[in-house]
Amino acid sequence: MKDTAQVVVIGGGAVGTSILYHLALAGVTDTLLLERDELTSGSTWHAAGNIPTYATSWLGMRAGNYAWSIYKGLAETVDSAITYRHTSAFWPAHTAKRMDLFRHLCGVSESAGYDLRMLSPGEMDEMHPFWHPDDTVLGGIFDPYEGDIDPSQLTQALAKGARDLGAQIERFAPVTAINRTPSGEWEVTCAKGTVRAETVINAAGFYGRKVAEMAGLSAPVVTLEHQYLVTEPLPQLEAHAPLFPLVRDPDIRFYLRRERNAFLVGSYAHDGRPAWEKDGPPDDFAHQLFPDSVEDILEVLDATIAHVPLLAEAGAQRYVTGTIA
């Protein structure tokens, strides 16, 4: 492992490797990424992989649209395979207040140079073969840019792109100490040695608070349990090859998309459940999950089935309950 670097990045998930790659694109290649386990550990490996471009601010829209625009060509750019599907998305509105917000965001989108637009219930029905609006759906907003990506493949591609440009990555190198030198540089100690750096970037996800404390800082990072489920394969999806939009319902609070020949359904409707409130994450939490919490999603599933009746015919293949920082 090198003992000096201009920049040290701590954390080898999608965020850390993206930082490393973008630094390299900007010509900053005297860099070292330290990952405590394997790349994609933490929240990345189990993430649903949706790529939202809808946002409630001008800056958020620019960030989301930058993501999909770079992801769509990244596999070819760095010569590393990535499963990426550009599906588009729509967001139903069940209240007049939500419709007003969507109209406002269409204006924000136009000022940012993007193409969010309003939809009628009938238009949503036409573009999604398994979506059935009812009288509660007043309309919606259409995001033509959204899609989904394999987060682990994305991370490996970003890492390869950064390495090809000169960056270095050390896996299985958990950081144990961060100290400021009298000259103002940082000494970062990990399992493989100590590196001196001008700048340290904390991209440690749910370990971010612990990493900050090593440098004498306080980072307000709270880790929650987030759950989605993947249904069993459905013959109707196997028979329907064309892509259809991801659905994000901010009032019922679910998202739903195709996952091969099954549905992936996630929800933010249940009360937030903080993990490790007292002592923070254990040192060995990498590819683990939390226990399933089926009851948290059942109420939302009932409301979702009213709009996607095919869901009623599907059993649950697996639940994924993981960390979200």
> pLDDT, tens digit, for every residue of 140-154?
999 999 999 999 999
What are the pLDDT digits (tens) for 73-110?
Answer: 999 999 999 999 999 999 999 999 999 999 999 999 99
Residue 270 pLDDT:
79
For residues 16-35, average pLDDT: 98
Owner of token pair 């790349």: 39
CATH number for region 4-48+152-214: 3.50.50.60
Residue 279 pLDDT:
81
pLDDT winner (highest mean) among 28-32, 64-68, 276-280: 28-32
For residues 288-300, average pLDDT: 85
pLDDT band at 203 (very low <50, low <70, confident <90, very high): very high
For residues 303-318, average pLDDT: 92
pLDDT winner (highest mean) among 61-65, 192-196, 222-226: 192-196
Cα(12)–Cα(45) distance, integer angstroms: 11
Q: Taking all residues of the chain, what is their mean pLDDT, rounded to a whole number?
A: 93
11: left (phi over 0), alpha (psi -120 to 50) or beta: left
pLDDT winner (highest mean) among 11-20, 252-261, 275-284: 11-20
Decide if 182 contacts 175 (C-beta within 8 A): no
For residues 150-169, average pLDDT: 97
Map out the domains of the chain as residue ranges: 4-48+152-214, 50-149+223-324
Residue 135 pLDDT:
86
Owner of token pair 């009213």: 306
State the CATH class of domain 50-149+223-324: alpha beta
C-beta pairs of 157-160 under 8 Å, 24+ apart in sequence: 157/74, 157/75, 157/78, 157/80, 157/81, 157/82, 158/14, 158/17, 158/18, 158/20, 158/21, 158/74, 158/78, 159/12, 159/17, 159/20, 159/21, 159/33, 159/39, 160/78, 160/79, 160/80
